[in-house]
Amino acid sequence: MRINFDFADLEAFLAVAETLSFHRAASQLAISQSAVTRRIQKLESALGVELFERTTRSLRPTLAARDFEARARAMLSDATEAMHALGDSTLRYQYQRNEVVNFATIPTLTNDLLPRVLSRFKAEANQVRVNILDFFAGDVNEAVATGEADFGIGFIGIQEPGLEFDFFLDDKFVAAMHRDHRLAGQRQLRWSELADQSLIVPQKGGGNRLLIDTTLARSKQFLNWSYQARYSTTILELVRMDIGVAILPASAIPVAKDSQIVALPLVQPEISRSLGGIRRSGRSLSANAQLLYDLFVEECQGSSLAH
């Protein structure tokens, strides 16, 4: 989407909203009244909404104008701060250094996807600090809903009001085992073939475990686990030590082929989760938060998991 207005148009809009008069706004901005009118018309055309209700005797902002006013002030404030920082060589990078992008993610993505995304982000915005909140899926939603996180990366589950979910890819569950395991040479595994195995599974309370338990219950199968842990990094270390067979989403397994770990698709039943981005409805991300979000989209779409 192209932005077809500029800061002068925002200044005119805020002046009219404050004075409720095109004439007084023109005096405040030291420009002609016709110039103010043209700027408001340009902004209305770009936004696709009417900003002011005009009569011969009065002028009042529309509901759309009231909703847009705070955002317009924020845009001008951010632009002013950035210009001041860039205008002084000693503060040239202060704006970026002081910005923190907060995002929440489910822990299974930290093994492979997250490092690849952050490596690309660092190359493009190396002055920006990143606060990573690794939570269970429900906590990711809550962090975004409350504003603790600018956005989240998770999967469809219990959705909070006021949140939007952008689908990235279907993330199928696999059986991860040591390369020397007797089942490692198979192309796929049925759940029934794991009955006599020492299973390592995600801890109860998380979205992954809920998916596993719910799916198996529907197919009238019982999960006889031997070990459970909260973080996939812990689970994978147990696999490397050949302690047992782990049940994890494919995205949790490092793409750079781990010489010690083999991951086999699970069938009968097959379990998958819809991985994607979580954002607050009607809220725009900062430029750097949007950049980080877009890099997640690109990495997911280019991942072998998406094909």
* CATH code for position 202: 3.40.190.10
Q: How many helices (H) and strands (E) does the chain have?
A: 10, 12
Give residue 172's pLDDT: 93
How high is the mean pLDDT of the chain?
Answer: 85
Domain of 240?
171-273
- 86 falls in which pLDDT band (50, 70, 90)? low
Residue 20 in domain: yes
Q: Where are the beta strands (DSSP E) in the chain?
A: 52-54, 59-61, 100-105, 129-134, 151-155, 163-178, 189-190, 199-202, 225-229, 245-249, 261-267, 272-280
Burial 222-233 (b: 16+ CB within 10 A, else e): eeebeeebebbe
Residue 1, in any domain of the structure: no
3-state secondary structure of 177: strand
Q: pLDDT, tens digit, for every residue of 11-36?
A: 889 999 889 988 898 888 888 888 88
Beta pairing partners, 265: 174
* Better-scored residue on pLDDT, 91 or 227: 227
Residue 36 lies in a domain: yes
Is the pLDDT reported for residue 190 higher than 90? yes
- The residue among 74, 91, 108 that closes a domain is 91
Residue 133 lies in a domain: yes
The domain boundary residue, chosen from 72, 91, 110: 91
Q: Which pLDDT value is given to residue 78?
A: 78
Considering the domain boundaries, does residue 2 fall inside one?
no
Give the residue-averaged pLDDT of 40-49. Answer: 88
pLDDT over threshold 90, residue 117: yes
pLDDT in tens, 135-181: 887 788 888 988 899 999 988 755 667 889 999 988 999 999 999 99
Confidence of residue 118 (pLDDT cuts 50, 70, 90): very high
Examine the domain organization and report whether 81 and 229 are in the same domain.
no
pLDDT digits (tens, 9 = 90+) for 222-280: 888 999 998 888 999 999 999 999 999 998 887 665 578 999 999 999 999 998 999 99
Does some domain include residue 208?
Answer: yes
Q: Is the pTM of this model over 0.95?
A: no
Look at the chain and report how many structural domains it folds into: 3
pLDDT at position 89 is 47
User: Are the CB atoms for 266 and 175 separated by under 8 Å?
Assistant: yes
Which of 91, 121, 151 is the last residue before a domain boundary?
91
Give the residue, 220 or 205, on which the prediction is more confident.
220
Residues 105 and 229 in one domain: no
